[in-house]
């Protein structure tokens, strides 16, 4: 016997009512006699019937699907972000759908086109490079498009205050007498990374300091190791390094200690970005800017609800603070323990 879903027609036959009565029974606010609704609900319970929300959404030209587009879903911070946002969406009554992509505009655009075909109620781009055509396509179809972690003209966007974070990192290093600064990033020129780099260099320049910038292939642990070998293994000592994320900071710290026999923070101070769980581990105790995934998820839902309430409003721009969490990877101020 081929398995099949229980249909509304089967419920109608069991209850002895019309197919439309079944539909009204499961539609909040619809007109239906109490005794008829009771018959339908009893029949549905006996059969194990569940409403087909996807079909309903397609009939209404809008489903409850919300697409999450990410080029790096396996990275620690993105995993936390997706989990927190998915929980919030489910609580909202939406159905989160993750579409992993590459970093290119074509792959992100293809993912968005797929979501449009399924009449998703919104697309949330967590990482990757959305193209201008993608933005225009969303607007023509009336689908909310929320871009996270980058500034885009047209769609609603939510980002963290990279400029202030970079300024704080410089202030922390300068207050501790460090003047030889390094910055570790990747060759993947995403807007977030560019913003952090430019702001860090500018803040350092305001103190009369230059910054040695070291790029690696990717923003991962191996990238941090490669960057450390190039930045720290030259004999031109660097006293403090700001890494664009925690993974690169972990790789850099391990290389500095295990290969170069440097002591952290006595010989080298390190600041990361993201606040992933491993940053608290005893092996790292990394001072880092904390992106709170729950705060971010709450803000994404707020922007989505605001957009749906007023589809023609001007683009919503939300900038979130990222507090610096002090741990053991930065040399204490004079007089501190």
The predicted pLDDT at position 62 comes to 56
Q: Are 95 and 52 in contact (CB under 8 A)?
A: no
Confidence of residue 5 (pLDDT cuts 50, 70, 90): low
In tens, the pLDDT along 103-139 reads: 566 766 676 677 667 778 888 888 755 566 666 667 6
Looking at residue 211, its pLDDT comes to 97
pLDDT for the residue 305: 94
pTM value is: 0.80
Helix (H) or strand (E) holding 5: none
Structure confidence at residue 130 (pLDDT)? 57
Confidence of residue 145 (pLDDT cuts 50, 70, 90): confident
Q: Is the pLDDT of residue 8 over 90?
A: no
The DSSP code for 186 is E
- Averaged over 34-55, what is the pLDDT? 77
Among 288, 185, 220, 192, smallest CA distance to 74 is for 220
Nearest one of 176, 163, 101 to 131, comparing CA atoms: 101
User: How far is the C-alpha of 248 from the C-alpha of 328, rounded, in Å?
Assistant: 17
The C-alpha angle 282, 230, 149, rounded to 5 degrees, equals 65
Lowest average pLDDT, out of 26-30, 190-194, 236-240, 288-292, goes to 26-30
DSSP of 32-63: --HHHHHHHHHHHHHHT----HHHHHHHTT--
For the chain, the residue count is 337
**What local confidence, expressed as pLDDT, does residue 53 receive?**
53
Name every residue whose Cβ is closer than 8 Å to that of residue 55 and which is 6 or more positions away in sequence.
Answer: none
pLDDT digits (tens, 9 = 90+) for 63-76: 688 988 887 888 88
| SS3 state of residue 123 | strand
The domains of the chain, with CATH numbers, are 8-51 (1.10.260.40), 65-160+293-320 (3.40.50.2300), 162-290 (3.40.50.2300)
Instruction: Determine the Cα–Cα distance for residues 170 and 69; give it in Å rounded to an integer.
Output: 33
- Which segments of the chain are extended strands (E)? 65-70, 95-100, 122-125, 145-148, 156-160, 181-186, 211-216, 240-243, 269-274, 287-290, 317-320, 324-325
List the structure tokens of 44.
């549905």
- Candidates 301, 270, 327, 326; CA nearest to 144 is 301
Say what percent of the chain tops pLDDT 70: 84
Q: What is the mean pLDDT of the chain?
A: 86
pLDDT over 70 at 56, yes or no:
no
3-state helix, strand, coil in the chain (%, to 5): 45, 15, 40
CA 96 – CA 126 distance, rounded (Å): 13
């Amino acid at each position: 016997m081929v398995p099949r879903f229980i249909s509304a027609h089967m419920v109608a036959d069991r209850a002895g009512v019309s197919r439309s009565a079944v539909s009204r029974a499961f539609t909040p606010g619809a007109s239906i006699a109490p005794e008829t609704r009771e018959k339908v609900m009893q029949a549905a319970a006996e059969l194990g019937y569940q409403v087909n929300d996807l079909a309903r959404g397609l009939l209404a030209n809008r489903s409850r699907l919300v697409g999450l587009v990410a080029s790096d879903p396996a990275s620690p911070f993105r995993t936390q972000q997706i989990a927190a946002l998915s929980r919030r969406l489910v609580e909202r009554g939406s159905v989160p759908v993750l579409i992993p992509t590459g970093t290119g505009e074509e792959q992100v655009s293809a993912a968005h086109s797929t979501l449009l075909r399924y009449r998703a109620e919104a697309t949330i781009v967590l990482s990757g490079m959305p193209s201008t055509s993608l933005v225009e396509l969303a607007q023509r179809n009336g689908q909310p498009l929320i871009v996270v972690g980058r500034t885009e003209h047209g769609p609603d966007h939510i980002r963290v205050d990279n400029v202030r974070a970079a300024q704080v990192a410089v202030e922390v290093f300068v207050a501790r007498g460090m003047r030889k600064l390094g910055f570790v990033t990747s060759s993947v020129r995403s807007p977030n990374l560019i913003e952090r780099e430019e702001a860090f260099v500018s803040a350092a320049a305001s103190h009369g300091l230059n910054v040695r910038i070291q790029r690696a292939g990717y923003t991962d642990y191996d990238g941090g190791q490669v960057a450390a070998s190039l930045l720290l293994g030259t004999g031109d000592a660097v006293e403090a390094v700001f890494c664009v994320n925690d993974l690169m900071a972990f790789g850099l710290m391990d290389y500095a200690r295990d290969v170069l026999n440097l002591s952290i923070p006595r010989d080298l101070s390190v600041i990361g970005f993201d606040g992933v769980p491993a940053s608290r581990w005893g092996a790292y105790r990394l001072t880092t800017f904390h992106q709170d995934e729950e705060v971010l998820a709450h803000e994404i839902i707020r922007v989505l609800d605001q957009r749906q309430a007023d589809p023609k409003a001007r683009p919503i721009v939300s900038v979130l603070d990222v507090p610096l969490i002090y741990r053991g990877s930065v040399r204490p101020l004079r007089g501190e323990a």
